[in-house]
Each structure stands twice: as structure tokens, then as C-alpha cells.
Structure 1
Amino acid sequence: MDNSKTASRQAARKRRLLINRDFTLLWSAQAISKLGDVVFDYTLVFWIATSIAREQRWAPLAVSGIFVATALPTLGAGPIAGVFVDRWQKRPTMLLMDALRAILILLLLLATGILPPPFQLPPFGQLVAIYLVVVLATICAQFFDPSRLALVGDMVTEPDRAHATGLLEVTRNLAVVVGPPVAALLYFRFGALWALIINALSFVVSFLALLAVHASPSGVRPQPEQQTHFLREFVSGLHFLAGNRVLMTILVTSVVGMFGFSAFSALGIFFALQNLHIPASLSSFLSLAFGVGAMMGAFLAGLFAQRIGVARTFWLSILLLSGLLLVYARQTSFAPAVVVSFLFGIPYAAIGVASDPLLLHVTPRTLIGRTFSVIITIVMLSILVSTTLVGYLASMVLHDFHARFLGLAFGPIDTIFTVGSLFGLLAGMYAMVNLWGLHLAREEDGLNPEITR
């Protein structure tokens, strides 16, 4: 009897850790494909900078083209993809996108020089091939990502969704930390060819993991008579988003708070040089500390967000993130800055862990694709605008700015960080007011934690 109880408790703990079989497969697929994505991105940077555009004046422009090739499809194809994601079944859509991305990356092998000399592409042709593959792969991601979110909603009941999102965020941040050195090792040891092959294989493994998922094919799917005109479906999604208090809170806080995080990302190297007075080579430790903090934040938020309250976790994390950015702006020494950068990553990841369960809580399954895609598109646009703005302020408007206030010295970079933190605090208070009293279902509320189909 005792043995059976012990086995039952162990099985329950295992279920709580991995939630269920289908989610474990989905989580494994993302862990592999996300690492492949980061390795792919950095491989392209190394390939362009050290080979295709080596010692060319236009090399920085060529590398920045990768970011443009990623941003433009997100802005252009994202909202369109959301309508079709809501029409189509989710797992087949994800399988198709994984297969297409594997094929696209394998086709890029033709640009690595494996063909005989008469058929090898010149540098300009290689760049065109790279940008084209990045554009098409990014379009595939616009279909894959909202489908994955909807599938998580199908696989995982509300009491476990914060935990599920936490696991997904841990693997995403782990890929961001581990991916760059893995890409460097593969590229400089074996060349672009094998780095691309490994990335293509990551999508093959993701495809096989998704193929093993026992998702119900009879999930909620719009019937043909429900599928009206594309524009009407798109507009109905916008109306739902605009009329939902929770979704608009997520959107507004993301856009307003993005100014501070864009400053932290874009101007981090200049803060290290001008405020911390360290060589550029040490600035990577600040990014590493942030990445490790983000992994820990995702793990902790996944464990405790449901107990704290998912909505409360969301706005508390925004306030804490903004407060830490204010503290970071006042740092003048390397070691304390590393500690604050690590702490900064914790609430940053917690915001992501809390936002998806909130979206799933208030969004009908037939609108998840449109809702998610529009939010991501607007957030990407805000990133572009914020990054451009902070770069312009640091380069032009505040380049020679120096002032003292309340006995504190202010320069251009820390001033931008300070203003960004104030925007973040306003966003956090806005979220606190709008989400106050919102509670998601918990297991003790009587919901069956097992997946229902």
C-alpha cells in the first residue's frame, strides 16, 4: 500500500514537472528548433562578416540586412498569417512549417560553395540567397508560433499553463545563451556547410516530435460557412483585441515598456564603455548574466506564477524590471553591473511567462492566431521605432549631454536608461490598475488537471 502511494506521488510529481506526454514532445521540439534558430542566425552573421563581405566597407550593412529580412516579414506577413492560423488545424500547420524551413535551409547549402566553380554564386548572389531564405523562414515562423500557442492551450489546462510557458521560456533563453558559442564552434571549426546542416536537422527532429503528438484532429475549427471574407475575419480579430481590457493592457504595456528594454539592448555596449569604463570584450559577461537571469526567471515564474497570481506576476514583473533598469543606470562599476544585469533578466522572463496564459484565458481558440499575430506585429514595430529612437537620441540629441541633479551625474546613456525606466514604471502601474482582481483558474478550484480532449 505504501509502495503504491509512493509510486502515485512520484507519478504526480513527474506529471507536474512535464505536465503531460504531448506537451513534453512539444517542449522538446521547441528546445531543439530554438537552439537551431539561434545557431542559424549567428552562423549567417559569421558567414557574411568573415567570408562573403570580408574586409568590405559594406560588411556592417550586409550583416544588418539579416535583421531587416527578419523584421519585414514579421510586420507584413504576421497579421495575414494569423487569419489562416485560425482557419487551419494547428498541428498540421506546425508540421508543414517545420518541413518547409528544413527544406529552405538545405537549399541554402547551394550557396556555400559546394557546387562546381562554374555554378558557384558570387558574393552578391550569396547575400540574395541568404536574405531570401531568412524572409521565407520568418514567414513560416509567423504561422508556426501562433499555432504552437493555440496547441499549448489545447494540451494544457489553465492551472498548468504558467508552468508550461515557464518551461518553454527556459528553453528559449537557454538557446540564446548557448546558441552563439555553439554557432561559433561549428562555423569556425567545420564551416557554414555543417552549421546549416545541423540547423536543418533541428527542424527535422522538431517535425518528428510534433508527429508523435496525439493532438485531437477534431478540435475547434471554423466551418466553411464561418470562414467569411479574409478582410472581415481580420477586422473581427482587431475588434476583439481592441475591445478586450486584458489584451489591450498586454499590448499597451509592451509598447510603452519597450523603450526602456530597447535602450538596454541597443545601447548596452556603449553603457559598458562610457559608464562602466570596461573594455568591450567584458561587455559579453553582462549579456551572459542577463541570459542566465532570464533562464532562472522563467523557471521560477513557471513554478510560482500560479500561486502568486498570473496577472499579479505580470504587473509586478514590469514594475520590478523598470526599477532594476533605474538601478542599472546608476552603476559605474563592472561587478555590481553584472549582478544587476542578472537580476534584470529574472522579471524580464517572468513577463513572458505570464503574458501567454493571460492571452489564452481571455481569447477564444478561434481568435488566438489573429490576436497573437497582431500583438507580435505591433510589438515588433515598437521595437524598431524604439531602437531607432534611442540610437538617434544617443548619437545626436544627447551626444554631449552632461548634467547633475540631486547630487547625481547624468550622461547620455544613463539618462536614456532612466527615462526608459520611468516609462516602464508607468506601464507597470497601468497594468496593475487594469488587471487588479483578475484571477486565472487554479487546480484547487476543482478543475481536472489532466488534459481533456
Structure 2
Amino acid sequence: MKNKLRDYYILWSTQGLSQLGSSITAFALTLWLYEKTGSALSTAALTICSYVPYVLMSIFAGALTDRWKKKPTMLVCDTLAALSTLVVFLLYKTNTLAVWHLYVINAVSGLMNTVQQPASEVTMTLIVPKECYQKTSGLNSLLRSVNSILNPLLATALYAAFGLDIVIAVDLLTFVVAFTALAGFIKIPETQSVKKEGTLKLAGEGLSFLKKSPIILTLLLFMSGINLIAFASSATLPAYVIPNPRGGSNVLGLVTSCAGAAMVVGSFLVSYMPKPKDRVKVVFITMLISMGSENFILAFSREPILWCISQVIGWILVPVMGANLEVILRSSIPVELQGRVYACRNTLQFFTRPIGLFLGGFIVDSLCEPFMEAHSNSAMLTSLFGSGKGSGAAMMMLILGLAGSAWCLLNARFMKKYHFSEK
């Protein structure tokens, strides 16, 4: 089994290292931008710029991915993304780095990720035996979880001690490691060649497959709503923790890391848990627990220890959901169609992420914070959400908790119609 997974383990570890480097830079840039603007919306816009090209172009990128060779596609995209990071480094060192530079550069990086991700998804299917899907799905979740733990801690530590330039240098070093491993040590078998048809027609084939697969389409639309709420919460969290008297940038890094620690535990669970009888039901139940816990605890707590607990409860079952959803997709979609279908999945499931980031930042800055400031004399509101800057973000957490729970409950009757049977 180890020999069968050799290429997977090399790709998993080195790409994971590169992703950690990129995440450290992204988190450090968030801190730098919040210091410059003090705005939740401006900070969220940094991530929005990464997701907009990802959402808009994913369907077409998937069609191209099925036509192109996977290894060269991944190498070119990673290189261009690294070059955009190098531009940030040069601008910062020459004291000319501006907010709009980051928005443009993040958009370029997002475009590269749009093409690279479906190629990477198909590559995983090609190099992993079918009987190892659940195990490798758990390991993929573990990698994302470790990343979630380490990147805020390393980013805040490196940024505070050495500045943004050292953070970016670490990012570029991890890219070199990943590029070398992929180029020289991993063999990726190619799929059956796709006819040289138009990109629009190939993209349409991915959409047609989803239309004929109601179980997958329903799950993706359900997850799009989850992503809307989860990313609105992500945009709200810095505005909630940083201005709090018991908060700050270091506390934000600690709280964010707790989510990653919870996902590590969840990833180990899913790697060794037996195959569930109903994977669709698992996806639904895990999200109901997550949506019905984290934001409510954040809304009404004022202690960092409770913020950390909220992250653990809210994120520990996310890898379980992700692994079961991934098994459903990999087992249901023919490998020669996976690039196109995964790209359509990216658009349908993730198009709500930039919307959530925008709404989260906008509502906190323009509605919730002004509302709490105008009603600062209300004993009931201050007892619920506190006072001063950050109290509006606490109110937003309550709104998101209610919305997440309602979305899960409303979808329950639709999810009951479907049962996934593994072949």
C-alpha cells in the first residue's frame, strides 16, 4: 500500500508545505492591511479578490484542465502565483506597496489557483487507488487542518518579529521545494485525451453531468449556503477579536489556530472511522452541529478561552463532512470528466464565498457597529454584545448563527430524499 501511495505522499507533503507558505503570507497581509485601514470590509476584500476570478473562470478552467497535461499545468500555475508573491516582496522592500496592489496581485493568484486546483483534484484521483479514497481524503483534511493551526501562529510570530519581507521569503522557499518535488519526483498518468472541442462545449458537459446527478447538485447547492455563512463569519472574526480589550492580533492567531487543531482531530477521526451507511446524512448532520454552535458562542462570550472552544466545536466535524463529500464526488464522477465537473463544482459550491466575505465586512462596518454605537446606552444590548468597537461584530455573529441553523434545518427535508450507494 505504501508503494501505491508513494507519489501521493510526496505530492501531499510538498504541496502542503507550499500551501502553508502561501497561507502564512495571506494571514500576514491581512494583519498589515487591518493595521492600515482598520476596516473589516477592506480586509475581507483581500480574500474577495482571490475568489472572484476563481468563481467566474472555474467552469472554463476545468474544460482546459481536462485537455491539458496535468503536471505542466500545475507547474506553470504555481510558478506564476509565486511570481505575484515576488512582486509583493519587491513593492514592500521599496516602500511602494499600496492596498490596491494587493487586490490586483491577489486576483492574479486567484486566477492561477482557478486552473491549478482542478488539475490537482484530477491528479489525486489518478495517483490514488480507489480503496484509499477515504484514507487520503482524511489525510487531505489533516493537511488543511495543520495548515490552519500553523499559519496564523507562524504568520503573527514572523510578522511581529521580522516583518512582512521575511514572511514572503519563507513563502517563496516553500514554493521551490514543492516545484522541485513535482517536477522531478512525481509521475502523473494522463487521462484519455479529450477531443479538441470548444471550451464552452466542454464546460457544458460538466454542467450536463451535474444536471443528471441530483444528489451531487443538491449537496453542492447546500454547501454553497454553508460557505456564504462561514465566510461572512470569517470576515467578521478579525473585527470581533482584534479591537476587543481581551483580544488583539496575537489572540486572533491563537483563536484561528484552534479551528485548525480541531480539524486535525477531525481528520484523524475520518481517516480511521468505518465507512458510514449514509454519507449524505453525515454531510448534513455535521454541518448542522457546526452551524448551530460556533457563532452563538462567539456572540455571547467575552473570554478568549470561550472563543477557542467555539472554534473547536465548530470545526472538529468539518473534515468528516469534507471526506464524505469527496468520496461521493470521486466515486460518482468518471475520471475523464472530473476536471470539468470539479470546475463546475468550484463555481456552484464556492461562488458564495466572496459574497459572504463582502456581506460580512459590509454589514459589520456599515450596519452592526453603527447600530451598537447609536444604542450604546441600551443595557440589554450591551449585556448581550458588549460595548465599544467589536460589539457590532458580536451582534453579527448571532445573526450568522441563526442563519446557519435555519439553512441546515430548511435543507433537511431535501437531503432526506437522497442516499448515496458506493459501488
1:247-258 equivalences in 2 (<5 Å): 247-258=216-227
The equivalent residue for 2:408 is 424
Match of 1:216 among 159, 174, 189: 189
The equivalent residue for 1:182 is 154
Normalising by structure 1, what TM-score?
Answer: 0.76
CA contact (8 A) 2:232 2:360 kept: yes
The equivalent residue for 2:284 is 315
The equivalent residue for 1:21 is 6
Give how far 1:85 is off.
Answer: 0.6
Q: Give per-residue Cα distances to partners, 1:50-107, cap 9 Å, x unaligned.
A: 6xx5xxx688776555223312221233222111011112222112222333333334
Letter in 2 for 1:440: E
The equivalent residue for 1:287 is 256
**2:78 corresponds to 1:98:** yes
Structure 1 unaligned residues grouped into runs of 5+:
1-11, 114-119, 442-453
**2:358 corresponds to 1:385:** no
Letter in 1 for 2:107: V
Letter in 1 for 2:57: A
Match of 1:147 among 119, 122, 141: 119
Letter in 1 for 2:141: E
Identity of aligned residues (%): 20
CA RMSD of aligned residues (A): 3.6
The equivalent residue for 2:341 is 371
CA contact (8 A) 1:146 1:369 kept: yes
1:22-421 equivalences in 2 (<5 Å): 22-48=7-33, 53=36, 63-113=43-93, 120=94, 122-124=96-98, 127=99, 129-211=101-183, 212-217=185-190, 219-222=191-194, 226-268=195-237, 279-281=246-248, 285-304=254-273, 306-307=275-276, 310-325=279-294, 328=297, 332=301, 334=303, 335=305, 338-389=308-359, 396=367, 399=371, 413-421=397-405
Sort the Cα spacing of 1:294 and 1:141 in 2 relative to 1 into closer, same or farther, 3 A.
same
Q: Distance between the aligned counterparts of 2:38 and 2:261, measured in 1? A: 34
Letter in 1 for 2:222: T
**2:421 corresponds to 1:439:** yes
Q: Give per-residue Cα distances to partners, 1:333-391, cap 9 Å, x unaligned.
A: 74555434312211222222222221111112232222222222233331233444456
Q: Give per-residue Cα distances to partners, 1:96-137, cap 9 Å, x unaligned.
A: 222333333334443233xxxxxx57444xx55544432222
CA contact (8 A) 1:170 1:299 kept: yes
Q: Distance between the aligned counterparts of 1:329 and 1:190, measured in 2? A: 31
Normalising by structure 2, what TM-score?
Answer: 0.81
Q: Distance between the aligned counterparts of 2:155 and 2:239, measured in 1? A: 25
Q: Give per-residue Cα distances to partners, 1:142-171, cap 9 Å, x unaligned.
A: 111111111111111232112112111211
Letter in 1 for 2:410: L
Sort the Cα spacing of 1:263 and 1:61 in 2 relative to 1 into closer, same or farther, 3 A.
closer
The equivalent residue for 1:8 is none
Q: Distance between the aligned counterparts of 2:32 and 2:238, measured in 1? A: 23
Letter in 2 for 1:41: A
CA contact (8 A) 1:89 1:221 kept: no
The equivalent residue for 1:117 is none
User: SS where residue 433 of structure 1 aligns?
Assistant: coil
Give how far 1:319 is off.
Answer: 3.1
